[in-house]
Amino acid sequence: MKKITFMAVLFCLLASTNQVSAQLIVRNNGHAEVGIDPFTELPDSLSSYSGQLDTVTVLRVFGNYGNHASGAHMTFGDNLLLFNYNVAIGELGYTDTDCLWLQGKHGTYITANAMANDTIMYYDNTRSDAVQFRKDVHTSGLFLQSDERFKENVEPIEDVLGSLENLEAVSYTLKNDYAQIRQGIASMATVTEKDRSDKAFFEQFYADREQGSERYGFLAQNVKEVFPQLVHTDNSGYMYVDYIGLIPILVQSINELRAELAEVKGEKQQEEENAAPMLQAPQQTSNNEIAASLNDAKLYQNAPNPWNSETVIRYSLPQSVSRADIYIYDMQGAQLKSIPAQGRGESQVTLTASDLKAGMYLYALVADGALIDCKQMILTK
């Protein structure tokens, strides 16, 4: 008798839910609707289509805002007056935003295997103020807000080149608990063929990922000693490195290195000019006749060249030249010898290798303070 009474009550409840103003409607095709169907507010000619337009949706949840029934929300777990949105899912806001809303008072977790707690990503404000990804992220692009209008207290960074020397790059593999997860899955009992198929899938899935690939990077503890601004520590004490923040530091170090290189080049050029002043371009002279006569001066290639014991350097000087010398330089511009060129017209000097090492040398003819010409020669021993 009790069983018959219960079935009668259940039948009455289901029948009552099939009314137009009901909050829960179960259609003849098995689809369910929760909330007020907006089509019930339309003329009879259209209301007959209620529950028939969407042939895909099995469960529809309506809100209470306008004919679109927007703003529908579902909450889980809490039964309070003020905070019943602690865990919820629905449409963002209370208007027809068409935006999915996921609400978690302390965060949101996305997992691949809830029994093994294999987390893909999460935001948990009890652990950190950042979104955590536990898997590699592949994307077609990554842009960070960097407009100067977002920033204040902007100052240039300087003297970073020396600090970079204290960073130590390492190779490593990430720790994981995939072996433990795989063992836990292996110990699970199976009943159906679907259970066995899922078990085999997850066992192989975690076996493939158990041996992590080699990576390159830094240890956060080392980075914190050198650039503490690039390291974030969460509530559990784990450290995270802002690798993108290293980019401006590397750029600045390159700029500093270029500046140092330019300074070194400038100093070296000045040293060469000071060491070999006679190799500079001829200075203008007020005596036009003397300057014109120097145009006839010539310096010839030494012979033999290469040489190993002695070589002859030929030259030609006009009679008007009062003083002339042949200077020998190494390839760094340091002067090694000075040989007076006493002859005029076609003349020559002989150079011996007694006090020179094997190598390449420069020799120049200077007449009355003007550089006539400069050539190379090779000494072999």
pLDDT tens for each residue of 92-117: 887 888 899 998 988 999 988 765 56
| Distance, CA of 263 to chain centre | 30
The mean of the pLDDT values for the chain is 80
Most confident among 21-35, 137-151, 299-313 (mean pLDDT): 299-313
Find the Cα–Cα–Cα–Cα dihedral 82, 84, 89, 90, rounded to 10°. -50
Predicted local confidence at residue 348, as pLDDT: 94
Specify the higher pLDDT residue, 304 or 52: 304
Confidence of residue 81 (pLDDT cuts 50, 70, 90): low
If you average pLDDT over residues 114-128, what whole number do you get?
78
What the block records as the tokens of 228 is 């503490």
On the question of pLDDT at 18 being above 70, the answer is no
Look at 20-34, 195-209, 222-236 and tell me which has the smallest mean pLDDT: 20-34
What is the average pLDDT across 134-161? Answer: 85
Overall residue count recorded for the chain in this entry: 381
Are 221 and 239 spatial neighbours (Cβ–Cβ below 8 Å)?
yes
Tell me, what's the pLDDT at 315? 94
Amino acid 288: pLDDT: 53
Packing angle of the helix pair 178-186, 193-210 (nearest 10 deg): 160
- Residue 297 reports pLDDT greater than 50: yes
Give the per-residue pLDDT at 366.
92
Distance CA 92, CA 60 (A): 16
SS (H, E, C) the chain: CHHHHHHHHHHHHHHHHCCCCCCEEECCCCCEEECCCHHHHCCHHHHCCCCCCCCCCCEEECCCECCCCECCEEECCCCCCCCCCCEEEEECCCCCCCCEEEEECCEEEEEEECCCCEEEEEEECCCCCCEEECCCCCCCCCCCCCCHHHCCCCCCCCCCHHHHCCCCCEEECCCCCHHHHHHHHHCCCCCCHHHHHHHHHHHHHHHHHHCCCCEEECCHHHHHHHCHHHEEECCCCCEEECCCCHHHHHHHHHHHHHHHHHHHHHHHHHHHHHHCHHHCCCCCCCCHHHHHHHHHCEECCCECCCECCEEEEEEEECCCCCCEEEEEEECCCCEEEEEECCCCEEEEEEEECCCCCCEEEEEEEEECCEEEEEEEEEECC
pLDDT at 284 over 80: no
Give the span between the Cα atoms of 231 and 267, in whole angstroms.
39
| pLDDT tens figures, 175-220 | 888 888 888 888 888 888 988 888 888 888 888 878 778 889 999 9
311-361 pLDDT tens trace: 999 999 998 888 999 999 887 788 888 999 999 999 999 998 887 888 888
Q: Which domains does the chain have, with CATH numbers?
A: 2-105 (no CATH), 106-142 (no CATH), 152-248 (no CATH), 277-283+290-379 (2.60.40.1930)
What confidence score (pLDDT) does residue 108 get?
92
Q: Please tell me the predicted confidence (pLDDT) of residue 241.
A: 93
Here the tokens at position 89 are 């899912």
As a whole number of angstroms, the distance between CA 293 and CA 163 comes to 61
- Cα-Cα-Cα-Cα torsion 146, 147, 150, 155, nearest 10 degrees, comes to 80
pLDDT of residue 138: 84
Reference 101, options 113, 87, 114; nearest CA is 87
Is 227's pLDDT higher than 90?
A: yes
Average pLDDT, stretch 301-305? 92
CA-based torsion, 226, 228, 229, 235: positive or negative: positive
**pLDDT above 60 (res 128):** yes
State percent of the chain over pLDDT 90. 18
List C-alpha distances in Å: 125 to 108, 121, 213, 337. 9, 13, 30, 80
pLDDT at 20: 42
Q: Per-residue confidence at 258, pLDDT binned at 50, 70, 90?
A: confident
pTM, full prediction: 0.48
pLDDT at 46: 47
Q: What's the mean pLDDT in 58-82?
A: 78
Strand bridging mode 118-124 / 107-113: antiparallel
pLDDT of residue 218: 93
> Residue 41 pLDDT > 70, yes or no?
no
- Please tell me the distance from the alpha carbon of residue 279 to that of residue 372, in angstroms, as a whole number: 10
With pLDDT > 70 as the criterion, what percentage of the chain qualifies?
A: 79
Segment of 10-19, 21-30, 183-192 carrying the highest mean pLDDT:
183-192
Of residues 277 and 194, the one with the higher pLDDT is 194
Burial class (CB in 10 A: 0-12, 13-18, 19+), 261: exposed
Residue 340's pLDDT is 93
What six digits make up the tokens of 318? Answer: 């006009």
